[in-house]
Amino acid sequence: MTAVPGDPGPADQRPAPGDGWRRRWRVRARALGDAARLRTRRFWDGAQPTLRQLWWTEEPETPVTTVDRRAPEPLVVPAQGQVYVFLVRATYTWSSETARPELFGWYVDYFQQQATQRLHRLAVRHAVEVPPHRPRDLHAALTAALAEDDPPPWTYARGEVTFACEPDVTVHLDERVRRLLQPYWEQRIALECERDLARRRAEFADERDRRDRQPEATGARPAPRAPDAKDLFPLEPLLPPPAPRPAPGQRPRPGEPQPPAV
């Protein structure tokens, strides 16, 4: 027959010897954990103001403007008649607040060709109506066009990077036209120098005449002349040379003055 276990008695429900020890340590650990958490929370709440002062805060970046100037080769544009040309020299000032300094030069090289072509089209459109010996007229036309038709700064963008360009333009003569105009300008400069010299001479003569007529008009006597050295030290008349004395025992010639008696 198989034995059937009976119901556990009171003796079987008693805890094992180690269960009370574990239970006490479990309660003790829970109490220590709660106390540690409470102290940690209090410490953290008290340290919050100090930690906020020590936290790293990133200030907003201040935009820095980088500037560069480029003076490429002069632009050659045909003048009126398509025989001679003008030389258009331009200095480009580039500036940007969004480009990094290490990439600034690369962006300027990238946009420089576009700005040069833009100025070349503008110069060609106005140079065909200007005679080749009048660079000042072309400079005035380009200045007016830059101020009205296509005012700077010119803006260029690539992605999030933007650039501003301001051209400064000067116009020069063709070397062939310069050689043709050189004799004319040399003669003109010589004539202007002669005219300036004649004008200065006339002004000096008028001033001298006015200074001479001023005492006569006012009736005042002319200012006394400063004494000269001859006035301060007059020269005495020269005395006649002494008469020659005759030799001893020789009579004086008739008409000769007698020597004074000793």
pLDDT in tens, 25-49: 888 888 888 888 888 888 888 877 8
What pLDDT is attached to residue 50? 78
Q: Which two tokens stand for residue 148?
A: 């009205």
What pLDDT is attached to residue 233? 47
What pLDDT is attached to residue 1? 43
In a domain, 163, yes or no: yes
pTM of this structure = 0.53
Residues 188 and 164 in one domain: no
pLDDT tens column, 155-178: 999 988 999 999 999 999 999 999
Residues 141 and 164 in one domain: yes
Q: How far apart are the two ends of the chain, measured CA to CA in Å? A: 211
Q: What is the mean pLDDT of the chain?
A: 79
- Structural domain boundaries enclosing 189: 175-213
What pLDDT is attached to residue 88? 95
- Can you give the C-alpha Rg of the chain in angstroms? 57
Q: CB of 87 within 8 A of CB of 63?
A: no
**How many domains would you assign to the chain?**
2
Q: Which two tokens stand for residue 225?
A: 């002349």
Residues 190 and 169 in one domain: no
CATH number at residue 74: 3.30.479.30
DSSP label of 11: G
pLDDT tens column, 52-105: 777 666 666 666 788 889 889 999 999 999 899 999 999 999 999 888 888 999
In a domain, 137, yes or no: yes
Taking the C-alpha atoms of residue 88 and residue 122, their distance in angstroms, rounded to an integer, is 11
Residues 88 and 110 in one domain: yes
**Rounded average pLDDT over 135-150:** 92
What pLDDT is attached to residue 232? 46
What pLDDT is attached to residue 52? 74
Taking the C-alpha atoms of residue 125 and residue 151, their distance in angstroms, rounded to an integer, is 16
Q: Is the pLDDT of residue 2 over 50?
A: no
In a domain, 112, yes or no: yes
**Rounded average pLDDT over 184-189:** 89
Taking the C-alpha atoms of residue 104 and residue 69, their distance in angstroms, rounded to an integer, is 12
